[in-house]
């Protein structure tokens, strides 16, 4: 019987994060975490015959194999915004059609690449230091969350993922993922015994990921527990052109069980625990005018940055969710030694 292993890299992750932040000259980011409990996972009809490589091999792109079944399909809805529509469509274009062979690893960062203008992405909204800011590639966390849920309900093996730092109502609570180039990836291994094909599509208000392959289970269920360790949000006033207004929301811990069903019976169960920090209320204030030596002050007060209010909407699934308005911050990168993953510590860069 395969068993899930809990994360043990907490100290290492915190040190890596602090070191990276020092190199980049950035303040630490408030990081959420998602971790898998060491509960038994189901027996496999076919165990992987290959060991996952240290870095994911680039998956082939080809039509779905004849006879492949729908392992899972998942859709995330979001408010329409030009930057979000553009960035999500670009990410979908880069992952659609991938074929992940038995034993191989799929990596979001490898498949999508760095979220830069040269790679076809535009500036959007992300989370940095516990608040929304403008940053390149905003919105792609919707694709990461959709892929994470498709992997979850396909019964595949998660290797690395991290939650958004705070809860955002659009995503399933405790079942979401964010990414950051160079520090946090979304990775899973195809341990189904057969090739898996990725199908992805998007519109101005939703993104869908479908995984095709050979079914090992009759059903995969998600069972969410109650919120615990409730923490109230604070209120902050921020100045500067990157300020984005933000509504308050409590922080909390939540657990989600993944239940494997075969032949009408439960054959395995895994527990994923996620920690969300409070989402502080952010008020954008005008910058104070400053006098320049040798020059006559203009006397006109600074004006607030034109706010771009990220939209939120009810979660598209039965469980609520944490999501950035098209983006977000997550914990530093980490590698899981078994089913599920998560991390803690401060994150040095904005998460999309």
pLDDT in tens, 267-278: 999 999 999 999
| Three-class secondary structure of residue 160 per DSSP | strand
Residues whose CB falls within 8 Å of the CB of residue 269, separated by 6 or more in sequence, listed in order: 39, 40, 41, 257, 258, 259, 260
Q: What are phi and psi of 22, to 5 degrees?
A: -65, -40
Q: Does the pLDDT value for residue 255 go beyond 80?
A: yes
Residues whose CB falls within 8 Å of the CB of residue 273, separated by 6 or more in sequence, listed in order: 34, 35, 36, 37, 174, 253, 254, 255, 342
The pTM of this model reads: 0.69
What's residue 272's pLDDT?
97
High-pLDDT (> 90) share of the chain, %: 54
What's residue 315's pLDDT?
39
Q: Render pLDDT for 128-158 as a digit per residue (tens, 0 to 9).
A: 666 676 777 789 999 999 999 999 999 999 9
Q: What are phi and psi of 17, to 5 degrees?
A: -65, -45
Q: Render pLDDT for 173-231 as a digit per residue (tens, 0 to 9).
A: 999 999 999 999 999 999 999 999 999 999 999 999 999 999 999 999 999 999 999 99
Q: Does the pLDDT value for residue 237 go beyond 60?
A: yes
Taking the C-alpha atoms of residue 344 and residue 334, their distance in angstroms, rounded to an integer, is 9
Residues whose CB falls within 8 Å of the CB of residue 125, separated by 6 or more in sequence, listed in order: 83, 132, 133, 134, 135, 138, 139, 244, 308, 310, 324, 325, 326, 327
Beta-ladder partners of 143: none
Q: Does the pLDDT value for residue 106 go beyond 90?
A: yes
Are 110 and 58 in contact by the 8 Å Cβ rule? The answer is yes
Q: Does the pLDDT value for residue 57 go beyond 60?
A: no
Average pLDDT, the chain: 74
Torsion, Cα 17 8 249 327, to 10 degrees, reads 50
CA distances from 238 to 10, 58, 76, 273, 329 (A): 31, 42, 31, 32, 18
């Amino acid at each position: 019987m395969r068993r899930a292993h809990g994360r043990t890299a907490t100290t290492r992750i915190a040190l890596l994060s602090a070191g990276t932040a020092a190199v980049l000259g950035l303040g630490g980011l408030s990081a959420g975490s998602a971790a898998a409990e060491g509960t038994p996972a189901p027996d496999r009809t076919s165990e992987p015959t290959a060991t996952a490589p240290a870095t994911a091999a680039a998956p082939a792109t080809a039509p779905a194999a004849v006879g492949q079944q729908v392992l899972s399909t998942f859709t995330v809805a979001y408010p329409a915004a030009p930057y979000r529509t553009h960035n999500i469509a670009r990410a979908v274009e880069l992952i659609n059609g991938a074929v992940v062979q038995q034993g191989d690893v799929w990596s979001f960062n490898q498949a999508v690449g760095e979220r830069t203008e040269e790679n076809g992405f535009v500036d959007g909204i992300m989370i940095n230091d516990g608040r929304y800011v403008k940053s390149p590639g905003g919105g792609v966390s919707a694709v990461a969350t959709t892929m994470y849920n498709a992997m979850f309900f396909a019964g595949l093996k998660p290797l690395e993922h991290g939650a958004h730092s705070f809860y955002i109502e659009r995503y399933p609570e405790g079942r979401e993922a964010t990414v950051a180039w160079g520090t946090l990836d979304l990775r899973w291994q195809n341990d189904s015994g057969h090739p898996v094909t990725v199908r992805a599509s998007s519109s101005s208000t939703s993104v869908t990921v479908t995984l095709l392959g050979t079914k090992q289970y009759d059903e995969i269920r998600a069972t969410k527990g109650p919120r615990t360790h409730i923490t109230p949000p604070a209120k902050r006033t921020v100045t500067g052109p990157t300020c984005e207004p933000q509504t308050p929301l409590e922080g909390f811990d939540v657990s989600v069980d993944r239940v494997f069903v075969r032949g009408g019976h439960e054959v395995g169960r895994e527990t994923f625990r996620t920690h969300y920090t409070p989402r502080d209320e952010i008020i954008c204030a005008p910058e104070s005018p400053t006098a320049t030596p040798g020059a006559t002050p203009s006397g006109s007060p600074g004006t607030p940055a034109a706010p771009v209010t990220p939209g939120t909407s009810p979660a598209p699934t039965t469980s609520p969710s944490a999501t950035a308005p098209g983006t977000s911050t997550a914990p530093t990168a980490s590698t899981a030694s078994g089913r599920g993953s998560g991390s803690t510590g401060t994150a040095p860069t904005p998460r999309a």
